[in-house]
Chain A
Amino acid sequence: MNSFILPAATLWQRELVRFWRQKSRVMGVVASPLVFWLFIGYGSNDLAKFYSGALVLTVMFSAIFSTITIIEDRREGFLLSMLVSPAPRTSMVLGKILGSATLGWIQGMIFLLFAPLAGISIAPGELVVLAGTIFLVSFTLTGLGFVLAWKMESTSGFHALMNLLLFPMWIVSGALFPMAAAHGWIKAVMWINPLTYSISLLNHALSLPDATPGALTSLIVTAAFGVALLLASGMMAARKSARSSA
């Protein structure tokens, strides 16, 4: 048991220590969704409408930035020595994903500080629910980042993926327009977009309008997506690799 928990715990801790030592990263991740949110929100005179979307974007940026390091890390970095250690791959995957998810969670929580700007008040009881919700969303997005990054040979490919997959996913998730207002086929896309359920879950937790699908459905879909991604990450990392650069 020790040989499973210890590697996972040490990787989780490593993510946090690294993050703490690069404080500019916190600003970088929170700042751009914040600016985005303020511009769109003040521009359309409805900050609350875009709040959940901006929060998810913050968490998504954080998750993506911290999983992107896997690509370089595997060829030149800490991941190399993990790959030749006897620690189970699944334990490494869990440590990495939990670590990155915690970072996304911290930044999401920081973003909550701006909620009053949108006239959103959060009671202490709600804060607990929100903290759990943000962690779940962060965990899911980190899992997604991991699955995408593990197969990648270079970070440039990841940027393309960011623009072609992740950003569009975010746009049709209810972050910018509610499902009710969407055109027919976009609505269909929104139904199958897992991120839709994250946004809806946050809207429920923040008692904001436009919270469709329902709270329970959103919770189940988000959690199921997260667990599926975790399992996929574990399986991918455990597979024996015959790939080599030289």
Chain B
Amino acid sequence: MIEVCNLTHRYGDRVALSNVCFEVKQGEIFGLLGPNGSGKSTLFRVLATMMAPTEGRATIAGHDVVREPAAVRRKVGVVFQTQSLDKALTVEENLRAQGHLHGLSGATLRERMESAMARLGIKDRRKDLVETLSGGLRRRVEIAKALLHRPQVLLMDEASTGLDPAARRGLSRHVEELRTQDGVTILLTTHILEEAGRCDGLILLHQGRMVAAGSPSDLCARIGGDVVVLQATDDDAQPLAAQIEQRFGVHAAALDGQVRVEIQNGHRFIADVVEAFPGAIESVGLHKPSLEDVFMKETGAGIE
């Protein structure tokens, strides 16, 4: 449904995207995960037909985003990170205006508005001015708006940013329903690990490059065993990491005053390491590998 091939984009000398390739199948929820400045917004803008990439190509539902933007726009619904609603208008008025932009009118438009509002649970707020709605509700109106023309693909840019956990869960439930009940393919950008974990497929972006791709479980499985996180007593965890590497022959990464070690049977390692460096470790943690660990392993940097 979405194919991206060797996509590269530069702003002057700065490379925002470098040789990105991936494919999204119909009905998938696909995530672009990366910190701010990783290039995911640039990628999003290219897919949303808002700008042409320097090199490479991208197609959505068989249409090239650069050469056939009008065809792509008919197949794609876009939910922006920033608000694209008119706050001085009501929910209904915003939806109607959006329908008109897509050439919808009359009974068809009314019926589409009803079903979109029902799908997102905002029917009872239809007469409310958008400026009186909470952040979570506004997001739902944005999605309803993006669905009016029955797009095959929904592009969502950091859609859950700024929402409280309950609103975020509500949003992902609606997204899941869209996929299962309407067969919509969803591509979302996020820097929130919990959200990325619910995707069928993911790519991890760092400084414009794709550092890993796969399903969340496949990605996590790349890290064997457990992840042990040691909080160093010193602010600089580098010396401790070096000593651990020397003593135990494992890879130890220092970041933000912590040392991270990927190891089988982490509980045994913890006992050994605490005994080996008395006073150098303030606290100890052990967890199963997460997407954050994958990201750190691949880039040496954190996400959030």
Within 8 A of A (CB), among B68-123: 70, 73-74, 76, 78, 80, 82-86, 88-89, 93, 96-98, 100-103, 105
Chain B, interface size category, equals: 20 to 34
Q: Are A75 and B82 within 8 A (Cβ)? A: yes
Q: Are A244 and B70 within 8 A (Cβ)? A: no
Contacts of B290 in A (CB 8 A): none
B61 at the interface (CB under 8 A from A): no
Rounded to whole Å, the gap between the CB of B63 and the closest CB of chain A is 12
Of the listed stretches A29-37, A81-89, A139-147, A168-176, name the one at the interface; the rest are far from the partner chain: A81-89
A22 at the interface (CB under 8 A from B): yes
Q: Are B84 and A244 within 8 A (Cβ)? A: no
CA–CA, A87 to B83, complex, Å?
20
Chain A, interface size category, equals: 20 to 34
CA–CA, A33 to B221, complex, Å?
70
Chain B positions 265 through 279: 1 when the CB is less than 8 Å from some CB of chain A, otherwise 0: 000000000000000
Q: Are A14 and B52 within 8 A (Cβ)? A: no
Q: Are A86 and B89 within 8 A (Cβ)? A: no
Q: Are B42 and A6 within 8 A (Cβ)? A: no
A183 at the interface (CB under 8 A from B): no
Q: Are A77 and B74 within 8 A (Cβ)? A: no
Rounded to whole Å, the gap between the CB of B74 and the closest CB of chain A is 5
Interface of A is mostly: helix
Of the listed stretches B25-33, B43-51, B177-185, name the one at the interface; the rest are far from the partner chain: B43-51
Q: Are B51 and A244 within 8 A (Cβ)? A: yes
Of the listed stretches A119-127, A150-158, A223-231, A235-243, name the one at the interface; the rest are far from the partner chain: A235-243
Residue of A nearest to B109 (CB): A6
Q: Are B50 and A86 within 8 A (Cβ)? A: no
Residue of B nearest to A22 (CB): B88
B41 at the interface (CB under 8 A from A): yes
CA–CA, A76 to B97, complex, Å?
17
CA–CA, A18 to B83, complex, Å?
17
A80 at the interface (CB under 8 A from B): yes
Highest count of chain B CB atoms <10 Å: which of A17, A22, A77, A84: A84
Chain B: residues with CB nearer than 8 A to chain A?
A: 11, 37, 41-42, 45, 48-52, 70, 73-74, 76, 78, 80, 82-86, 88-89, 93, 96-98, 100-103, 105, 145-146
Chain A: residues with CB nearer than 8 A to chain B?
A: 2-3, 6-7, 9-11, 14, 17-18, 21-22, 75-78, 80-87, 240-244, 246
12 CB < 8 A contacts A-B: A6-B100, A7-B100, A76-B84, A77-B82, A77-B83, A78-B97, A81-B145, A85-B73, A85-B102, A86-B102, A87-B103, A241-B50
